[in-house]
Structure 1
């Protein structure tokens, strides 16, 4: 992709966007554009919108990670412009609407009857011949019937000229708008969008009645991140409640949940080392990682409680549970890491989407497993002593 982008950038007048057919359909359906980042500028005047889009494009170019920068074009389509001279029309007793109607019939045509040939029906449309419709001088000689029976050429009632105009006018919420689109490479969408918004807010001078906002895939990612953040919070609360119901001890529940910060730190460090960014895939990996980390702590606490119920002292039970579960914990973490390695090391089609998930889970598994084996028994022993110092009961 980088090689293709580098070569296409040398072609003048070419705007580049790398995507997939399915991804384009999904992104256009959700955010209205397949671009990673879209700056939409709203206002009433098209020429001023075009100038503001050019200024916004210049402000966005220095932003790190911004590629495939392109602005929508509003002009360039040849048009025939007919401007009615109201005074001239009034002198012959006509109205501008009558002149416009005559022009409509001459250019677009009007159905006046139908012709049947056997069982087939054809519309009979009256309009100017093709050579007259495509010739400005021919249009200017179009005769329009006056009220007094005279026939006046169109050129005496209106100004006919060839000009250029917008191929289309984009509107949102009843307001005209123009868009500047870009892709983001080597950086997360959220920070790139924040920097673009900051630069535009400081450097783009908008007249009264003009404003901008930022959309594209970053909108969908922001919605997904908010949903996943809520899902993570609900999952943690549910784990806390279920662990307390299963163990009946709030202190031991906190011992198990102590593995989660270490798993989180491991995932963050792994993302930083791998050069990946926070996105939906990495957050999904974080949710899966929490489940494995909680399971390791739960196994240690459950095994220790079982040995204590058999009459063994706490320290002896904790030591045996810690040493006896080393191999199963290492095998669990190792199996999960080996299963995720293909996403991390193999250059497979589509693997770049799931790679952040694998990076987060592998980094978190390493740190959470090491914490469970080396630090969690000590923390569990401290909590047990504090409980004994407080009278052995939980309030």
Structure 2
């Protein structure tokens, strides 16, 4: 897994080409506002001894690649030539060159190989021995080679950073055929959470309406109270725009919390109207006037307590504030408009519903 907030995954076959793309994308990430701690995965750079056989020379001396490989392995890695018994235990007897003769490239080049006539042939006569930088790790996803450029996000939402770097990569990086780019890290969790939120919000709204119906036993009054939800959403959206905050997962969670508190204000008002009607107050205007006057303080206090409780989160500047601020901003902004509009719009809608 990737611990950074965003991981740009480049897929392809050639490791050197992948490294070039990763370095190029790393430079692009450094130019994106909010992208910090840029990390480019290293897959090459470890020295390796490479033996490139000359097949014509091998045939000249009657050698084959398998036998030469076995000789090299025995000389430098060791080969079992028998067993050593110690009581009931047995151990492989491994032989190889002394340490002084397997320390440098020259030792490999000057290794003697037995020819088919018993002659001693230096390895450099039948092969080219060199040191090159080779891969020390090869990462794969679904059998495809990949390399990662990753970074964290500060003082900005992840979605807008990914959108910006995605646009820059498409315009500035010319990927060869067979190479592709995907985005992962914590951003993957963000995408999955957004999909879950697309299910959670409608479910929450449906459950709210069902509970309203069972509380009042009336679809009409349930719909009346349900109008507090769009009224509160207006304030939440406006507050996000006013503070220049994007719609994020935490903002979506804030809307769910906001809807519950906003509906509570409507329940308080409608329940009071129903109580006055049951007690014999038949005049609609008198019922609305008395009910609103009686429940004004509870409605305002309910909204005030919730808003003040979220205020420290709304003005937070500490670590994790980028998650707290959208949530608190939505709740506070939504409660301000919901409280005002509930006290004004809901009585008007109640009047017309009762009049008809």
**With structure 1 as the length reference, what TM-score do the two structures score?**
0.80
For CA contacts below 8 A with separation 6 or more, give which structure has more relative contact order.
2
Distance 2:145 2:107 in 1: 35
- 1:219 equivalent to 2:200? Answer no
- 1:197 equivalent to 2:169? Answer no
- Counterpart contact for 2:316–2:325, Cα < 8 Å: no
- Of the three residues 211, 221, 235, the one matched with 1:242 is 211
Distance 2:174 2:132 in 1: 30
Compute the displacement of 1:96 (Å): 1.3
Change (3 A) 1:122 1:132: same
- Of the three residues 299, 310, 326, the one matched with 1:329 is 299
- Counterpart contact for 1:228–1:283, Cα < 8 Å: yes
- Of the three residues 271, 284, 288, the one matched with 2:240 is 271
Tell me which moved more, 116-125 or 139-148: 116-125
Change (3 A) 1:185 1:348: closer
Q: Show the counterpart of 1:165.
A: 134
Change (3 A) 1:56 1:222: same
- Counterpart contact for 1:304–1:314, Cα < 8 Å: no
- 1:306 equivalent to 2:292? Answer no
- 1:74 equivalent to 2:46? Answer no
Q: Show the counterpart of 1:10.
A: none
Distance 1:344 1:264 in 2: 17
Secondary structure of the residue that 1:41 maps to in structure 2? Answer: strand
Distance 1:174 1:93 in 2: 39
Secondary structure of the residue that 2:187 maps to in structure 1? Answer: helix
- Of the three residues 82, 101, 108, the one matched with 2:77 is 108
Q: Output the aligned Cα RMSD.
A: 2.7
Q: Show the counterpart of 1:141.
A: 110
Compute the displacement of 1:123 (Å): 5.4
Distance 2:251 2:70 in 1: 62
Compute the displacement of 1:361 (Å): 2.0
- Of the three residues 303, 308, 314, the one matched with 1:338 is 308
- Of the three residues 133, 150, 153, the one matched with 2:119 is 150
Secondary structure of the residue that 2:194 maps to in structure 1? Answer: helix
Change (3 A) 1:266 1:235: same
- Counterpart contact for 2:15–2:43, Cα < 8 Å: yes
Q: Show the counterpart of 2:335.
A: 365
Change (3 A) 1:113 1:303: farther
Distance 1:240 1:127 in 2: 81
**CA deviations over 1:227-276 (Å, ceiling 9, x no partner):** 02210111111222332343343332222111112322322333344454
Q: Show the counterpart of 2:178.
A: 209
Secondary structure of the residue that 1:137 maps to in structure 2? Answer: helix
Tell me which moved more, 110-119 or 94-103: 110-119
Change (3 A) 1:382 1:107: farther
**With structure 2 as the length reference, what TM-score do the two structures score?**
0.88
Structure 2 runs not aligned, ≥5 long: none
Tell me which moved more, 207-216 or 51-60: 51-60
Secondary structure of the residue that 1:38 maps to in structure 2? Answer: strand
Distance 1:262 1:131 in 2: 84
Compute the displacement of 1:111 (Å): 4.1
Change (3 A) 1:321 1:123: farther
- Of the three residues 53, 68, 71, the one matched with 1:84 is 53
Secondary structure of the residue that 2:2 maps to in structure 1? Answer: coil
Compute the displacement of 1:196 (Å): 2.1
Compute the displacement of 1:352 (Å): 5.6
Tell me which moved more, 369-378 or 289-298: 369-378
Q: Show the counterpart of 1:291.
A: 260
Secondary structure of the residue that 1:90 maps to in structure 2? Answer: helix
Distance 1:271 1:131 in 2: 71
**CA deviations over 1:25-82 (Å, ceiling 9, x no partner):** xxxxxxx211222221211112222222233334444433333333223332222222
**CA deviations over 1:319-373 (Å, ceiling 9, x no partner):** 2221111111222222223333343456666566444333322222222222222
- 1:36 equivalent to 2:2? Answer no
Distance 1:363 1:205 in 2: 45
Change (3 A) 1:311 1:171: same
Distance 1:73 1:151 in 2: 41
